[in-house]
A and B are shown apart, each in its own frame.
Chain A
Amino acid sequence: MAVKGWQRAQDPALLVLTSLVAGPKHGYALIGDIEEIAGVALGPGTLYGVLARLEDAGLVQALPSEDRRRPYKITGAGSAALRERLLATSAVTSIGLRRLGVTPA
């Protein structure tokens, strides 16, 4: 139960950017990838809310598409923002793990 609650609290924007680092993806592929890497089943409304915000901020970019499935790619600013965020998170993570007495694999 606690694990489920924790997963729900994860930031969808971080998950979307992390997924897009591997390469451009359309909405359905993003949902599948995020479920695989983080175990979080994003809803379409949540995903497109995040994509719209990230697009507004210039962190992701929509690519041209001929069908209904439009792919998105992470921009240079998006990669920089993700790197900054992950480094900040990893610093907290490593301190937390050390205090818990857990050695990272």
Chain B
Amino acid sequence: MTGESKLITFALNSYPSWWRERYRDEVSAVVDGLVESGRSPLSLSSNLLKSSMITRIRGTGAPAARAFWVHRTQRSLLVACLAWFTIIPLAIAFMLSIGENGVSHGNTLVQLSHAGKIAHNFQSVVSIVIVLIFVFALRGWRQLRSGLEGQTIPTKLFRVVNRGAIVGITLTIAALFLGEHNATSTFAEVCAYIGLSLFVCAWLLTPAVISQMLRHGDLSVTNLRKVVSGSTVLVWLYALITVLVVGSEVALTAQPVPASGVSYLSLHSGLGGWSALLCVGFVFLTILSGIGASVSRRSCEKILAT
């Protein structure tokens, strides 16, 4: 098998299973004919890959069964919500990485440059958006739980995660109070480490809990629609955060270098070269969650139509 035919096979395999069952043989015959007539296998593969992505997003040619669309909505909702678990730590890392430094000569007034002020303002808005995301995510979580109330779903993992998060937060808060006294500072440090570790573990396991709840629960269409709307709002908030973070990083780099001997105050990012990677991460996660939300909305509409 040549590299080109491997690429075509890969492109054909990238289609969803329902599509492959129905169209794979036919398309394969058409591709064979087109390759024989001189069409470039590379352009055929890229066309197939592009179409397979569109097919996955739109669900073209998928079975009309309601159960299929409910399952599809649940899986896409999971993709839309997964970004939340990554965006929050990324946004916090971004906020913690920005600091101010300056050099003062005499009593001259020390000021931020115009670009520095923009970066500073953007950073403030990011913190507001993070709070908004938390509020919407908690609301979505409550909707999800109330929608599944009274149903038999595996709750062992949920209990572990829930208790882990509560104990983690309690230990972290306790460490803050204990840390104020020198006699207990080592104990406070241990508490803080254990508390934060528990919280991070609970945070990382939450997508698995949501996944379990969605897979094993039977959400009514009304509740499903509410969760879909919530995830759409979250995507818009991700997009806003992404614009702010990218804008802030651009403003940080656009700050003028002050002349020697002049007093100045400038913002700096502790991430250095990693800032570009952070921006790429934000853009990627926004696109991913956007696709998830869009697919879930379309699937939900299909459920209503069936």
Question: Which residues of A are in contact with B by a Cβ distance under 8 Å?
Answer: 26-28, 31, 41, 43-49, 51-53, 55-56, 67-70
Contacts and interface: CB of A to CB of B under 8 A. Distances in A.
Interface in B37-87: 39, 43-44, 47-52, 54-55, 60-61
A68 B25 contact: yes
A51 B83 CA distance: 34
Contacts, number: 67
Nearest to A55: B61
A56 B28 CA distance: 21
B47 A69 contact: no
B280 interface: no
A24 B158 CA distance: 56
Which of A28, A44, A67, A69: most chain B CB closer than 10 A? A44
B30 interface: yes
Tell me what chain B mostly uses at the interface: helix, strand, loop, or mixed: helix
B26 A27 contact: yes
23 contacts: A27-B26, A27-B29, A28-B33, A41-B39, A43-B48, A43-B51, A44-B30, A45-B49, A45-B50, A46-B47, A46-B51, A47-B30, A48-B26, A49-B60, A52-B61, A53-B60, A56-B60, A67-B29, A68-B25, A68-B26, A68-B28, A68-B29, A69-B26
Interface residues of B, number: 26
Interface of B: 11, 19, 22-23, 25-31, 33-34, 39, 43-44, 47-52, 54-55, 60-61
Nearest to B64: A56
A52 B33 contact: no
Given A43-B48, A48-B23, 20 more contacts: A26-B29, A27-B30, A28-B29, A28-B30, A31-B30, A41-B39, A43-B47, A44-B31, A44-B34, A44-B44, A45-B47, A45-B49, A45-B52, A48-B30, A49-B54, A56-B60, A67-B29, A68-B26, A69-B26, A69-B29
Given A52-B55, A55-B61, A27 B27 contact: yes
B61 A56 contact: yes
A52 B52 CA distance: 12
A47 B48 CA distance: 10
B23 A52 contact: yes
B13 to A, nearest CB: 13
A48 B51 CA distance: 9
The 8 tightest CB contacts between A and B, nearest first, are A45-B51, A43-B47, A52-B61, A68-B29, A27-B30, A45-B48, A28-B33, A45-B47
Contact of B60 (A52, A69, A70): A52
Nearest to A30: B30
Contacts of B60: 49, 52-53, 56
B143 to A, nearest CB: 31
A69 B30 CA distance: 8
A56 B55 CA distance: 13
Nearest to A71: B26
Contacts of B25: 68
Contacts of A68: 25-26, 28-29
